[in-house]
Amino acid sequence: MNLEKFRNDVYEMCAKLSKHLKENDVAKLGYVRQQLIEMYKKNLVKINHSILELICATNLISRGYKVEVEKDVSDI
């Protein structure tokens, strides 16, 4: 998949998921989207993983959490 196709798919999914967020939370999902696009450029994620991340992020953002993609939570 090329970058343009990936970007279009991720933007389309974010548009759909944004309908489930408060207006001030949409930018938070956009931040996650940009993180995923940058990771795709480095060949670190695929589209299926990214869509799942966006779905999970939407749920967490709607509950008041801050979301960062692929964040290390321990030294293990």
Q: In this structure, what token pair is assigned to residue 69? A: 């993609």
- Report if pTM > 0.85: yes
**76 residues of the chain, pLDDT tens digit each:** 699 999 999 999 999 999 999 999 999 999 999 999 999 999 999 999 999 999 999 999 999 999 998 776 777 6
* Three-state DSSP state, 65: coil
The separation between the first and the last C-alpha atoms of the chain, rounded to the nearest angstrom, is 32
Quick one: CA torsion of 25, 64, 42, 8, rounded to 10 degrees? -30
Rounded CA gap, 37 and 43, in Å? 10
Q: Which residue has the tokens 């480095």?
A: 42
